[in-house]
Structure 1
Amino acid sequence: MYSSNETTPLPPLNPFRILEQGVSIRDTIDLLVEGKKIIFIALGSVLLVTSVYLLLAPRTYKADALLRIDKNKALLAAPLHSEANQSPTEAENPRAQREVEILRSRSVLGKVVDDLNLVVETSPYYFPVIGETLARRHDSHDGLAAPWLGLNHWAWGGEKLKVTTFDVPDRFLDKEFTLIALEAGHFRLLDPKDETVIEGRIGETLTAEVGEATPIVINIAEFTANPHTHFELKRKTSLAAIETLQKAFSVKEVSKDTDILSVELKGPNPEQLAKSVNDIATIYVNATVNWESAEASQ
């Protein structure tokens, strides 16, 4: 019997006969058209959330200044109101780095805290979600905004409060007090348990004994608000106020070997920011002059 193991080779495949199955541009367009409803809903939702956030998000302001260090360590401070120098490099000049550390020191920032009374924090009570945005959009030159639907518990815009003195016992530090505007230039102060501790007139220094060696002392220089408007009032420690200022404060050399420092401070209160930056520059200039005089005398 005869058998053969030989096989007949298959003819080569023609590459032009191979059909590649894939997604064409037409298929992609058809898919997008079919899902256009879902796409538009997702896009609209993203735009709506973004718009609401931009509308309701609290504003952050920036105040900055330039400090120029000359060879004699005398400084010239000039406030700036632009967004220039957005990406300054880190201070690499040893002398500039030393000045940066001095500017961020507690001896300088602590003086700012004392001068501007930054240990006292005040904040109006706003209507939930939209209250702060409505108050921010109100023009303060138009006076106080009328309360919506008679809801005068909250602030609606145009309110002003300046507390010159607010001393509390240690156990009340960082505790939330409530300040209520009354008629005819009077006010009421509630403790963290919402109990009345002081009621008096604006401009007077008032004291309340609370069973501690240190009484509660308050003096309000200015209080413009609709009657019954509530404010949050808090007294912090000097250390806490300095740390808060340090977090919002940055100092960098504008560029290498220029001996020009950029001082920047960010926060929600533009008026307070401007005062703080100017005070920092002034304190530092005075301190530098004193140090230079002390070194010369030695």
Structure 2
Amino acid sequence: MTEKVKQSAAPVTGNDEIDIGRLVATVVEARWWVLGITTAFALCAAVYTLFATPIYSADALVQIEQNTGNSLVQDIGSALSNKPPASEAEIQLIQSRLVLGKTVDDLNLDIAVTKDTFPIFGAGWDRLMGRQNETVNVTTFTLPKAMNEQTFTLNVLNDKSYQLVSDGGFSARGQVGKVLEHDGVTMLVEAVHASPESQFTVSKFSTLGMINTLQNNLMVTETGKDTGVLSLTFTGEDREQIRQILDSITRNYLQQNVERKSEEAAKSLAFLAKQLPEVRNRLDVAENKLNAFRQDKDSVDLPLEAKAVLDSMVNIDAQLNELTFKEAEISKLFTKAHPAYRTLLENARRWKMRKVS
């Protein structure tokens, strides 16, 4: 006997509409939780705004000087298709140790003086109380190798004197504006702008380490494509210091650029001064040959074949003279072993062979 069981699903009825009244009642019931959480987040945001260390940025624009003198060798350098654009080379130069290292030396960035404050909230509290501008200007700070790992603290006694101590037992009293020398430590404090009993931690960093720090905080980009204008942006916590750093970087870049151009011009002038007598000698020889040829023919109205020979000689001398000036330009960029330089010398050799033949 087989029993068939029919299963039927009972229809499920429900209301999918949102009950606004119930939601409002839920919010009202939990109003203190909502108010408390909102207030807590608002207080956290306010505390962060007041005590967080602000980050500033300074901007500058630098125009790349177009090297028009290199147009003489563009026909030779065109084979170097992998050569990066001038803007990329200048960006690398701005971020180089040559430029940034001089900035570190000029501004004594390897010496860091930070005020001792309460952790996390101390710096923000000083800003609220108007004490964020308290500084000590240290321009000289050298340590013996045995003390490199020690932590030095500068205690302000008054605006004319200070006490320098370390966790290694070092202690000495110095005068503002006078060099302090004690146990191999040398320090010069130029000025004190802080209230008595203020404490500052004085640190000495390596020049290479500070260069790396500057590279991390410096961003150099080209504004647009092939505009020749570079945009420099430097970020940091000290608004006045980042302005000084960026100003120093731009000045040092422009200074080395002028020195580099002057050196290239001096080399070109020296090369031309060396080659000029030879060029003049070739010109005199060509003129003498021309005069001798005219006297031999006893006529200025030369036949077409003779004129062709003279035109060829003049053209060869012109090509040799042009190659001489090109060599003056290309010698600033490459050595004689470079393919471009070797190509130029080979062209000069061919023209000389044509002249002899």
TM category (shorter chain) comes to 0.7 to 0.9
Residue 158 of structure 1 and its aligned partner are, at CA, apart by: 4.4
Asked if the contact 1:173/1:236 (under 8 Å) is kept, the reply is no
Q: Which amino acid letter does the alignment assign opposite residue 24 of structure 1?
A: I
Find the aligned partners of 1:176 and 1:64 in 2 and give their Cα distance. 34
The TM-score, its normalising length taken from structure 2, stands at 0.63
User: 2:37 maps to what in 1?
Assistant: 42
Q: Which amino acid letter does the alignment assign opposite residue 233 of structure 1?
A: V
Q: Does 1:159 align with 2:143?
A: no
- CA 1:290–1:118: 2 relative to 1, 3 Å: same
Aligned-residue RMSD, C-alpha: 2.9
Q: Secondary structure at the match of 1:114?
A: helix
Within 5 A, what are the aligned runs for 1:101-116? 101-116=92-107
Asked if the contact 1:174/1:235 (under 8 Å) is kept, the reply is no
The TM-score, its normalising length taken from structure 1, stands at 0.75
Asked if the contact 2:159/2:176 (under 8 Å) is kept, the reply is no
Q: How many percent of aligned residue pairs carry the same amino acid?
A: 28
Q: Does 1:24 align with 2:18?
A: yes
Larger RCO (CA within 8 A; separation ≥ 6): 1
Within 5 A, what are the aligned runs for 1:1-298? 19-22=13-16, 24-26=18-20, 27-72=22-67, 94-139=85-130, 156-173=131-148, 175-183=150-158, 185-193=160-168, 195-209=169-183, 215-296=184-265, 297=267, 298=332
TM-superposition CA deviations, 1:70-97 (whole Å, max 9, x none): 3239xxxxxxxxxxxxxxxxxxx82212
Q: Secondary structure at the match of 1:66?
A: strand
Asked if the contact 2:159/2:193 (under 8 Å) is kept, the reply is no
Q: Secondary structure at the match of 1:44?
A: helix
Structure number with bigger Rg: 2
- CA 1:23–1:269: 2 relative to 1, 3 Å: same
Find the aligned partners of 1:269 and 1:6 in 2 and give their Cα distance. 87
Residue 29 of structure 1 and its aligned partner are, at CA, apart by: 3.2
Q: Which amino acid letter does the alignment assign opposite residue 253 of structure 1?
A: E
Find the aligned partners of 1:31 and 1:257 in 2 and give their Cα distance. 63
- CA 1:121–1:191: 2 relative to 1, 3 Å: same
- CA 1:255–1:170: 2 relative to 1, 3 Å: farther
- CA 1:174–1:287: 2 relative to 1, 3 Å: farther
Find the aligned partners of 1:71 and 1:184 in 2 and give their Cα distance. 51
Asked if the contact 2:58/2:242 (under 8 Å) is kept, the reply is yes
- CA 1:108–1:18: 2 relative to 1, 3 Å: same
Q: Secondary structure at the match of 1:256?
A: coil
Residue ranges of structure 2 left out of the alignment (5+ in a row): 69-83, 268-331, 333-357
Number of aligned residues: 251
- CA 1:29–1:129: 2 relative to 1, 3 Å: same
Higher helix share: 2
Residue ranges of structure 1 left out of the alignment (5+ in a row): 74-92, 140-155, 210-214
Asked if the contact 2:159/2:194 (under 8 Å) is kept, the reply is no
Q: Which amino acid letter does the alignment assign opposite residue 234 of structure 1?
A: S
Find the aligned partners of 1:198 and 1:72 in 2 and give their Cα distance. 56
Asked if the contact 1:63/1:266 (under 8 Å) is kept, the reply is yes
Asked if the contact 1:248/1:267 (under 8 Å) is kept, the reply is yes
Asked if the contact 2:51/2:125 (under 8 Å) is kept, the reply is no
Asked if the contact 1:174/1:234 (under 8 Å) is kept, the reply is no
- CA 1:32–1:183: 2 relative to 1, 3 Å: closer
Find the aligned partners of 2:186 and 2:213 in 1 and give their Cα distance. 24
Find the aligned partners of 1:173 and 1:247 in 2 and give their Cα distance. 24
Asked if the contact 1:208/1:217 (under 8 Å) is kept, the reply is yes
TM-superposition CA deviations, 1:99-143 (whole Å, max 9, x none): 11111111111110000000000011124554322322455xxxx
- CA 1:170–1:64: 2 relative to 1, 3 Å: farther
Asked if the contact 1:178/1:232 (under 8 Å) is kept, the reply is yes
Higher strand share: 1
Residue 24 of structure 1 and its aligned partner are, at CA, apart by: 1.3
Find the aligned partners of 1:184 and 1:70 in 2 and give their Cα distance. 48
